[in-house]
Structure 1
Amino acid sequence: MTSQTRRRYVCNLSEKSLEKARQELNEDPETREEKIDELRAKFAKEKPEVKLPPDDAFLVRFLRNNKFDVQKAYDMLLHHYEVRRKYKELFVNYQPSFYKQVYETDMLTICPGRDKDGSTVVLFKVGKLDLDRYSFDFVTTGFLIAFDKLLEDEEIQVNGVVTVEDYEDVSIKLMTKCGSSDSKKMMDVFVNPMPIRFKAGHYIRQPDFFGTVFDLFKPFLTDKLAKRFHFHGKDYGTLHDYVPSSMLPSDFGGKLTNYNSQEWFEELCKEDKKFEEQNQYGFPKAADVSGDVSQGAGQVGGSAESFEKA
């Protein structure tokens, strides 16, 4: 890569988040560029067939998520591209506007502001998942694009994400339509290869059978990660002990009225060209898949490794 094509990283973190990155992520502005250079050089030497984006900011995501350990960042980024090679069907139309129908369902909501720890809160209304209308792959790709967009925000890279899932109106029929292969695929694409700091997951209004379903995933969770999941049933009060009601819409027991994320998604849907370009990087498109990227036994680590580092 020539100096004309490479785009050097420029830090846009607030002073508070930069200090947090120093303390928690081992980020040193004095050596940051050196680490980026080292990561690029490692790919050039060991995986020259992998085409990296010219933006150093993209590589910084993986360095931060791995506390600036170059070897671990290399492993995660390599796995990131292995997964895209493994599940080609998810990335054929990797353009936000293609998934506009998913975003219009109000299935996902990006809450305004941040919680007391600086984390961004993302809401998911599971009951709006209509697998008679959309395929599981279609919805999964729409979510992937949304989280890729979130990860462009450096504050989110450092402070992480909290998820709240609402299971109102979720039936056994819907849960059984999400087969084991679908669940495995979602774990594969979201857990190991995505450089996001998962701070907590909250579940509300979950049905009685939810515990049985969740038990299927427990073997893949470390004790540390398992402690980050909280189950609130129909009681909003315990949810608000963790996520303030001031930043939640009314259907999550919050104080925001008539709030949704449609403006955020409308802006996202204008970025087709950027996402199409990003999807050109990685392994050559004609390359065969190598390595095992199966959930729980990925080429570069266990299923909870990405979240565990948070």
Structure 2
Amino acid sequence: MTTQTRRRYVCNLSEKSLEKARLELNEDPETRDQKIDELRAKFAKEKPEVKLPPDDAFLVRFLRNKKYDVQRAYNMLLHYYEVRRKYKELFVNYQPSFYKKVYETDMMTICPGQDKDGRTVLLFKAGKWDLDRYSFDFVTTAFLITFDKLLEDEEIQVNGVVTVEDYEDVSIKMMTKFGPSDSKKMMDVFLNAIPLRYKAGHYVRQPEFFGTMFALIKPFLTEKLAKRLHFHGKDYGTLHDYVPSSMLPSDFGGQMTNYNTQEWYAELCKEDRKFEEHNQYGFPKAADVLGGVSQGADPVGGLAGSFRKLET
């Protein structure tokens, strides 16, 4: 791959979000470029084998998520690439169109607009997950691609996301498909490597066995995140205390009738080329460092095998 010219960051935040970034994320337009330079320099000195994208905007995602602490942003960005080696099964086909059938199920929905705090709301309908057709890894990757796309939006980087998960019609079969190793993998990737601000998670219509399922995830949650999770059962009234009914569809007790996420996902599935380019960054592939002969393992050091929780 030819060397690409570095592209400096240009801020596109609204004035309101820029002020929020200043207050909550320690973002200072006067020192932002300096922090980006420090982050690039740290990689050049400590992990020169890692190819960073030429777009400074990509690095800003991680700086914002770690409140412009360069060391912590470095840790997360490094882990962002390390999980691509650690869990290769999630990234072997990291292109949106490969997951088109999952998106067409409406398993994942992005609500239009934002809540009163400017946050984007994502819906997950677990009952639409055909466990015989789509594996845990397959659906996890579909989510990761969705999050990577959402993070292109600077407003989402600053204001974050809220998830609402509906478990109606979920059978106990899900427990047989979702084990401790899957829980560990999911939390390692979503919490330690993705620079998305998870502001709250809401669960509705949980089955009786949901507590057993959730017990697999709970050990990997920070105390801060655990406090942001809310369990509503069939009581939509308590859900609407947090997420306004005006931005939820009727099957979540909401008032919205004309929403459609398929157009958003249809556009996403046209972006394979963008994702292919991005997949070239990070650690070199085995073929790159072994003269073009793949040995089935990457010789460059990393976090092979062990799970760790990065500081938050």
The answer to whether TM tops 0.5 is yes
Q: How does 1:125-274 map to 2 (within 5 A)?
A: 125-274=125-274
- 2:120 is aligned to 120
Code of the aligned partner of 1:178: F
Q: CA deviation at 1:216?
A: 2.9
Code of the aligned partner of 1:195: P
Q: CA deviation at 1:209?
A: 1.4
Code of the aligned partner of 1:290: G
CA distance in 2, matches of 1:215, 1:180: 9
- 2:55 is aligned to 55
Q: How does 1:70-89 map to 2 (within 5 A)?
A: 70-89=70-89
Equivalent pairs counted in the alignment come to 299
Q: 1:292 to 1:88 in 2, by over 3 A?
A: closer
Code of the aligned partner of 2:303: G
CA distance in 2, matches of 1:176, 1:191: 24
Identical-residue share of aligned pairs (%)? 82
CA distance in 1, matches of 2:75, 2:246: 39
Q: CA deviation at 1:91?
A: 1.2
Check the 8 A contact 2:249/2:257 in 1, yes or no.
yes
Q: CA deviation at 1:212?
A: 2.4
1:110 correspondence with 2:122: no
Check the 8 A contact 1:61/1:195 in 2, yes or no.
yes
- CA deviations 1:101-156 (Å, max 9, x no partner) are 00000000000000011100000001111120112211111111001000110000
Check the 8 A contact 2:5/2:54 in 1, yes or no.
yes
Q: CA deviation at 1:222?
A: 2.8
1:291 correspondence with 2:291: no
Q: 1:48 to 1:123 in 2, by over 3 A?
A: same
Check the 8 A contact 2:86/2:304 in 1, yes or no.
no
CA distance in 2, matches of 1:34, 1:148: 25
Q: CA deviation at 1:260?
A: 2.7
Check the 8 A contact 1:167/1:205 in 2, yes or no.
yes
CA distance in 1, matches of 2:279, 2:171: 35
RMSD: 1.6
- CA deviations 1:214-267 (Å, max 9, x no partner) are 123323223222110000000111000000000011111111114231000001
- CA deviations 1:159-188 (Å, max 9, x no partner) are 000000000001111222112222222112
Code of the aligned partner of 1:55: D
CA distance in 2, matches of 1:132, 1:37: 47
So what's the TM-score if we normalise by structure 2? 0.92
Q: Which structure 1 segments of 5+ residues have no match?
A: 306-310
Code of the aligned partner of 2:147: F
Check the 8 A contact 1:83/1:293 in 2, yes or no.
no
Q: CA deviation at 1:3?
A: 10
CA distance in 2, matches of 1:50, 1:59: 13
Q: CA deviation at 1:294?
A: 4.2
